[in-house]
Amino acid sequence: MPFLQRYLKPSVIVLISLAIIAASFGGGVYVGYERRPAIEKVKGVLGQETAKPQEVDFSQFWEVWSRLEDKYVDRGKIDRQELVYGAISGLVRSLGDPYTTFLPPQQAKQFREDVKGSFGGIGAEIGIRKDMLTVIAPLKGSPAERAGLKAGDKIFKINGTSTADLSLEEAVGFIRGEIGTEVALTISRDSFDEVKELKIVRQQVVIPIIETAAKGDGIFSIHLLNFNEQSPQEFRNAVREFVFSDHRKLILDLRSNPGGFLDAAVDIASWFIPVGEVVAREQFADGSETVYRSYGHRLLESTPMVVLVDGGSASATEILAGALRDIRGVQLIGDTTFGKGSVQQVDNLAGNASLKITIAKWLTPNGTSINDKGLEPDAKIEVQKEDVDAGRDPQLEKAIEILKTL
């Protein structure tokens, strides 16, 4: 600086000093700009300020987002809304609960239509078991049943698309479609040597409810196939048929019943369980419970009975079966039930998306959790391929055998 002072005017020295300071400041600003949090580099994304829980370091998320927008070779094709949907889907999927899912607008619309029944499908209830898309039960008389689909079948592909990374709702969306069109399912079964492809034509799905039959020796069978809003009235009609027959022992067949409305299960349980007795417990995250009790229809409280279950018995079906065993000591005959013992709530989100979230688990009156494990029968009877080929039903035969001793 002394050298400059000897040869330059004071005003020039000031200008040079200011230039140096500005350059230093500019360099600092540039370095600071490049090192700023990645969230600040992603411009025009609403809701950033609310997306950072204090307990969680969210910087990596925004760093990845920033690098995608900066370096991805086809960044002109990046759809920011799809990035958001993908991020939310991954967030929800990380819980490991196949029944808690995020539904983007199109899937949410499909879900609402399905609830109303305005869809074409194959007539099979499916779920996720051990991370594998699995058939809970084909509905009676459905295209799925006619094509040979069975409870417990594992679905590896839908129209050639692997199911490995599909959510339950995505898989359902692939299976359902326009009436009259065909869907190809690649399945495995314990009795298969290799996977097989079943081609099923979609139809309007009509959900059956009840079948009744006299089995001789004073034994009557009510096969309950579904729990929907008509089920209580249909069951009432079946009870009337039973009471006015000359039969006094009952087989309640709940095989291949994928469940449905809890209220329907409670109403039907009330024919067998004394008034006020617990039918089911709904346990929430904070440990609180909602208890569902019998209405006490009373008519069948002392009727000798057994219950048939299998791997296609799920959800509300397991509630009914568990209550009858816990309260009445009724024997369950057949195979281990599916293990769908959780309660979902659908929340509508902004932009016509939805979140289906598991909010509670179902417990039997004695506090046994149904979820994942299912119910083990008192008399475990597996139906073998040779039984099916010969038209035998060893589970029903065992039910009749036990009822004769009651």
What is the C-alpha separation between 59 and 65, in angstroms, rounded? Answer: 10
Q: How would you classify residue 203: left for phi > 0, otherwise alpha for psi between -120 and 50, otherwise beta?
A: beta
Q: How far apart are CA 62 and CA 351, in angstroms?
A: 22
Provide the 8-state DSSP code for 178: S
Alpha helices in 35-157 (DSSP H): 38-41, 59-71, 80-93, 105-116, 143-147
The residue from 326, 335, 356, 398 that is catalytic is: 326
Of 279, 323, 291, 278, residue with least CA distance to 305:
323
The answer to whether 98 and 80 have CB atoms below 8 angstroms apart is no
Q: Is 340 a catalytic residue?
A: yes
Tokens 């979230």 belong to: 357
Establish whether 356 is a catalytic residue: no
315 annotated active-site: yes
Region for 193 from its dihedrals, namely left if φ exceeds 0, alpha if ψ lies in -120 to 50, beta otherwise: alpha
Catalytic residue among 150, 154, 249, 340: 340
Report the C-alpha gap between 91 and 335 in whole angstroms.
35
Q: How many CB atoms lie within 10 A of CB 327?
A: 20
Q: Are 379 and 331 in contact (CB under 8 A)?
A: yes
17, HSE (Cβ side, Cα atoms, 13 Å): 10
Instruction: Return the DSSP state at 246.
Output: S
To 10 degrees, the CA torsion angle through 336, 342, 348, 352?
A: -20
Question: Three-state SS for 125?
Answer: strand
* Paired residues of 348 in beta bridges: 354
Dist CA 318 CA 316 (whole Å) = 5
Choose among 78, 127, 121: nearest CA to 99.
Answer: 127
Q: Which of 167, 256, 315, 342 is catalytic?
A: 315
Among all residues, which ones are annotated catalytic?
Answer: 315, 326, 340
